[in-house]
């Protein structure tokens, strides 16, 4: 089990998803309840479910109620985004993260030795992601080096002690034995010298083997360290798109944002923005800041509930309150238009689907 996990993320929500996966690397046996205890719901100020993680089956109730889309409004539910616990339980994580909540989560994760080593804002029209970096084998390899070194040192100490003992014994032997040694034949002396040489060779071989083992282990650690420090190759800049292609991409993004906004819904019979609809308009404002050449017309529609006069006024107020909120976020008023059409243009027999807001790209 690693002692630290680094997260490299693109986009706030998917970087938080990386933090959750990093926690499971550190705590592979964690349950859904333990996951929510580790990351309490108040880390996200706009959380409507009170917890950041829910069972995938419970996340169904937060889907869009319009019936014409399977867009996940509040939780990650796609196959490559669902978190699978060790007990097989599938978990969906809260998707919407404001900048202040994201910064709070990054700081909170540090107590679990989870470090967001690099973060980048995801480009519009591109999906974010994350990668994790950790090393389970580094401590084990270091321990192996220490173990080999200690074993070699012990062996060397034993041999030195043996040599010292032999030297002391030789020094304390009586002179008579020296006389006897002098009387040894040349063959006996040659045999002793050969034995001493063999011992020296064996000792030298042991030292060489020990050094080779240490060098191999150090080389393995060096290769791993270099592979981690390798900088990613710079990505060649994409060619500039023509105005037509860029407008098409912007229109596709506006259509996706419109789906989110309609999923958030107004309070019935009122023109007050909900917290979820404000988050979507904040995303729309960021897109318009990146594309100052784009203007937008917001058209409000109402269902057939109530009188025609009331519905006309309500649709106008809903469109205007969305425009006013975008202006408060720094979008110039001359780039925005609002219009209300009441219940004059239904799109379905389902009255709920007729209560909608359209975002139309204009030049």
pLDDT of residue 218: 92
The first and second tokens of residue 268, run together, are 């019935």
The first and second tokens of residue 8, run together, are 């490299």
Domains of the chain, residue spans:
5-133, 138-229, 243-362
pLDDT of residue 96: 84
Please tell me the distance from the alpha carbon of residue 44 to that of residue 106, in angstroms, as a whole number. 12
Superfamily of 243-362 according to CATH: OmpA-like domain (3.30.1330.60)
H-assigned helices in 265-292:
275-290
pLDDT of residue 116: 95
Please tell me the distance from the alpha carbon of residue 209 to that of residue 203, in angstroms, as a whole number. 10
Q: Which residues contact 208 (CB under 8 A, 6 or more apart)?
A: none
Per-residue burial over 275-300, b if 16 or more Cβ lie within 10 Å, else e, is ebbbbbbebbbebbeebeebbbbbbb
pLDDT digits (tens, 9 = 90+) for 60-78: 776 654 444 343 457 888 8
pTM: 0.41
Cα angle 98, 80, 134 (rounded to 5 degrees) comes to 80
pLDDT digits (tens, 9 = 90+) for 153-205: 444 444 444 445 454 454 444 444 444 444 557 778 888 888 889 889 889 99
Mean pLDDT computed over 124-141: 73
Does residue 24 contact residue 135 with C-beta atoms inside 8 Å?
Answer: no
Q: Judge whether residue 286 has pLDDT over 80.
A: yes
How many CB atoms lie under 10 A from the CB of residue 315?
27
Strand (E) or helix (H) holding 353: helix 351-354
Q: Judge whether residue 244 has pLDDT over 60.
A: no
Q: Judge whether residue 235 has pLDDT over 70.
A: no
């Amino acid at each position: 089990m690693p002692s630290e996990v680094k997260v490299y993320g693109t986009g706030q929500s998917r970087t938080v998803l990386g933090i959750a996966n990093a926690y499971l690397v550190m705590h592979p046996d964690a349950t859904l309840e333990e996951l929510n205890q580790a990351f309490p719901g108040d880390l996200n100020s706009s959380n409507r479910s009170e917890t950041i993680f829910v069972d995938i089956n419970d996340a169904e109730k937060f889907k869009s109620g319009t019936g014409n889309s399977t867009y996940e409004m509040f939780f990650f539910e796609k196959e490559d985004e669902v978190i699978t616990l060790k007990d097989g339980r599938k978990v969906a994580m809260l998707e919407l993260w404001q900048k202040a909540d994201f910064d709070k989560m990054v700081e909170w994760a540090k107590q679990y030795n989870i470090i967001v080593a690099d973060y980048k804002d995801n480009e519009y029209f591109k999906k974010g992601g994350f990668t994790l970096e950790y090393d389970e084998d580094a401590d084990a390899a270091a321990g192996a080096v220490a173990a080999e070194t200690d074993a070699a040192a012990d062996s060397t100490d034993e041999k030195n002690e043996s040599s010292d003992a032999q030297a002391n014994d030789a020094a304390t032997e009586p002179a008579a034995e020296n006389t006897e040694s002098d009387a040894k034949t040349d063959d006996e002396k040659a045999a002793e010298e050969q034995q001493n040489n063999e011992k020296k060779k064996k000792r030298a071989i042991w030292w060489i083997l020990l050094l080779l083992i240490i060098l191999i282990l150090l080389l393995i650690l060096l290769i791993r360290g270099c592979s981690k420090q390798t900088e990613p190759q710079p990505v060649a800049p994409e060619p500039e798109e023509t105005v037509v292609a860029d407008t098409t991409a912007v229109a596709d993004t506006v259509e996706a944002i419109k789906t989110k906004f309609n999923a958030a819904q107004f309070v019935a019979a009122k023109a007050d923005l909900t917290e979820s609809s404000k988050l979507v308009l904040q995303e729309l404002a960021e897109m318009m800041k990146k594309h100052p050449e784009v203007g937008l017309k917001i058209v409000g529609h109402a269902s057939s509930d109530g009188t025609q006069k009331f519905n006309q006024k309500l649709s106008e107020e809903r469109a205007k309150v969305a425009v006013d909120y975008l202006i408060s976020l720094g979008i110039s008023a001359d780039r925005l238009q609002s219009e209300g059409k009441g219940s004059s243009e239904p799109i379905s027999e389902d009255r709920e689907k007729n209560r909608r807001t359209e975002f139309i790209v204009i030049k």
